[in-house]
Amino acid sequence: MRSSETKKMRSRSQDRSFNTISITDSMKYFVPALLLSLALASGCRLLPSKHRKASAAAEVPPATGIEIEFHDRWIDRRIHELLTSGNAKTEQEAKAMAATEFVKQYPYIRLPAAKSAK
């Protein structure tokens, strides 16, 4: 039995069509795969994007962003307090009162011109 098994193994290993690919065939698969992997690894930086340019221009420094967020939260909270206490009759009146109080209480916080006009 063992002699027949070894004959089968030898015949398979000598057969060139069993699990072998010629060099030209392997290059046919390797080159496109290499090009595809390089294109995917590039991060698609080859194509321009309007989103990246717009977000870079609209970005503010971190400290300014924190000051703007604090201003907005403080104003919203103060508007709610003024309306519930009855000191202001309308939301616009409460917003104006809160803005003047904020400037008096926090004079060192400088907001960008576009945000303070809002």
Q: Can you give the residue ranges of every domain in the chain?
A: 2-41, 60-117
| pTM for the whole structure | 0.48
Helix spans in 16-90 (H): 23-41, 50-58, 62-85
Query: Any idea what DSSP says for residue 19?
Result: S
pLDDT of residue 94: 95
Q: Rounded CA gap, 94 and 81, in Å?
A: 9
Q: Say if residues 88 and 97 touch (Cβ distance below 8 Å).
A: yes
Report the alpha-carbon angle 29-31-33, nearest 5.
65
- For 36-75, write each residue's pLDDT tens digit: 787 777 766 666 666 666 555 678 888 899 999 999 999 9
Residue 84, pLDDT above cutoff 60: yes
The two structure tokens encoding residue 7: 């004959």
Q: Rounded CA gap, 15 and 6, in Å?
A: 14
pLDDT of residue 115: 43
The number of C-alpha atoms within 13 Å of 82 and in the hemisphere containing its C-beta is: 21
Residue among 76, 69, 81 nearest 99 (CA): 76
The two structure tokens encoding residue 111: 């907001």
The two structure tokens encoding residue 63: 């400290």
pLDDT of residue 68: 93
